Structure 1
Amino acid sequence: MHTGGASPLSYLILFFSALGAATLLPFSSEVTLVALLAKSYPTVGLWAVATLGNTLGAVVNWVLGRYLIHLESKPWFPFKRHQRQRAQGWFQQYGKWSLLFAWLPIVGDALTFLAGVMRVPFAWLIVLTAIGKGARYAVVIAVYFGVLS
């Protein structure tokens, strides 16, 4: 059991790994979450920090889509025009509710980026991605504790 109190540094590491995992960067926040669960850090606090970080990472993608789409012809831009157009058609079909699946690897990054391109209101982005991402972390925690196996 973790006896020295919850380390703020550990929460910061979890926050930034969750934030990075929601962007186009290759991070895995679940490993950090499980490591801190193994140290008996408060479960609800870990869930909240991971969900917040991952939701804010989705905001980074939304901002890229909303305000930087004019740069998509640049070679370094994360999505090519044809990829965006194909995904945009799919997004138009399913709409903002697809943001509930923003926790999915690779696809989730594209969803939150497209939400910016499609000018999904910021409030909807926050609410729907937080629900999906929070649920995903709840499942990781439940699996860790053997509730789901």
Structure 2
Amino acid sequence: MQALETLGLFGLFGICFLSSSLYPLGSEAFVAFFATLDYSLILVWSVATLGNTLGSLSTYAVGRIGENFILGRYFSKAKEMTKRDKQEENAKRLTKYQKYLNFVSKYGFIGAFLSFLPFLGDVFALALGAVKYPFWKATFFIALGKGLRYYLLIKTMQLLN
């Protein structure tokens, strides 16, 4: 923690960014630690929320850029299947995928908001990018969820001190 304290808010930003970008790292402990230092709590909250939001948006971007790879894996063709079986299987998967797209279009904001959850949050952000959920909506709801989490954490730390 001494090294992180030396890096200051830049270190907090980096930890929060990394912890939400497919790299498993719990940012909560670091935010709680910084909340006990002589930094403005609003500044700690802002830096943590911005870093964590941008980290999730980098995961969103991976999903958006890697959409063809992800879908290619989903619609992969097994060698042992006949051409007709492959077509039928892919038609079923396409129907499921369309239902999923419709679901995400309607309820994607919930996944974006819940992107603060450990491990699942990365999956939500990746999936939102892969289905091309609107960037501005993803950004808003991701930031809202992460900001609320850090607000509650910092308030809890205030009450404990």
Same fold (TM over 0.5): yes
* Residue 138 of structure 1 pairs with residue 156 of structure 2: no
Residue 29 of structure 1, CA deviation: 1.2
The answer to whether the 8 Å contact 1:102/1:111 transfers is yes
Change (3 A) 1:69 1:31: same
Moved more, 91-100 or 45-54: 91-100
Residue 41 of structure 1, CA deviation: 1.1
Other-structure match for 1:96: 108
Residue 71 of structure 1, CA deviation: 3.2
Partner amino acid, structure 1, of 2:108 = K
Match of 2:24, SS state, is coil
Unaligned runs of 5+ in 1: 1-6, 75-79
* Residue 16 of structure 1 pairs with residue 11 of structure 2: no
* Residue 108 of structure 1 pairs with residue 121 of structure 2: yes
Unaligned runs of 5+ in 2: 76-95
Residue 72 of structure 1, CA deviation: 3.9
Change (3 A) 1:91 1:41: farther
Map 1:60-99; keep pairs closer than 5 Å.
Answer: 60-72=58-70, 81=74, 89=100, 92=103, 95-98=107-110, 99=112
Change (3 A) 1:8 1:90: farther
TM-score (normalised: structure 1): 0.78
Q: Which has the higher contact order (CA 8 A, sep 6+)?
A: 2
* Residue 33 of structure 1 pairs with residue 28 of structure 2: no
**Whole-Å Cα distance in 1 between the matches of residues 56 and 16 of structure 2?**
10
| Structure with greater Cα Rg | 2
* Residue 122 of structure 1 pairs with residue 135 of structure 2: yes
**Out of 46, 50, 66, which is 1:48 matched to?**
46
The structure that is helix-richer by fraction is 2
The answer to whether the 8 Å contact 2:16/2:52 transfers is yes
* Cα-Cα RMSD: 2.7
TM-score (normalised: structure 2): 0.72
